[in-house]
Amino acid sequence: MSFLRFAYQATPRSYTVRAFASETSFSPPTTAAYQVFDRAVKQKQRDCAASRDSGERSKIVDYVRDEVADRMMERLLDIKRKFDTIVELGSGSGHFSKLLELDKTSKALMIDSSKKALNRDPDEEFEVEVERVQADEEKLLETLPRNSQEAIVSCLSLHWINDLPGVLVQIKEALRPDGLFLGAMFGGDTLFELRTALQLAETDREGGISPHVSPMTDTKDISNLLGRAGFTLLTVDTDDVRIGYPSMWELIEDLRDMGEGNAIVGRRPFMHRDTLAAASAIYKELYGNEDGSISATFQIIYMIGWKPSSSQPKPLERGSAKTSLKDVL
Instruction: Say if CB 198 and CB 213 are below 8 A apart.
Output: yes
What pLDDT digit, counting tens, does each position of 113-139 carry? Answer: 999 999 998 888 899 999 999 999 999
pLDDT at 55: 78
**Fold of the domain spanning 39-190+216-245+298-309:** Rossmann fold (3.40.50)
What percent of the chain shows pLDDT beyond 90? 58
Rounded-to-integer distance, Cα 252 and Cα 283, Å: 12
Nearest to 240, CA basis, from 188, 279, 276, 178: 188
pLDDT at 12: 41
pLDDT at 18: 34
Nearest to 140, CA basis, from 214, 217, 88, 69: 88
What pLDDT digit, counting tens, does each position of 52-110 carry? Answer: 877 788 899 999 999 999 999 999 999 999 999 999 999 999 999 999 999 999 999 99
- List CB contacts of 285: < 8 A, sequence separation 6 or more: none
Which of 103-117, 187-201, 303-317 has the lowest average pLDDT? Answer: 303-317
Instruction: Name the H helices within the chain.
Output: 39-51, 56-60, 63-77, 115-118, 164-174, 192-206, 219-229, 248-258, 273-287, 325-328
Over range 222-228, report the average pLDDT. 92
- Give the start-to-end residue ranges of the domains of the chain: 39-190+216-245+298-309
3 state SS of 112: strand
Over range 165-189, report the average pLDDT. 95
Burial state string for 234-244 with b = 16 or more CB within 10 A and e = fewer than 16: bbbbbbbbbbb
pLDDT at 11: 43
pLDDT at 312: 77
The pTM of this model reads: 0.82
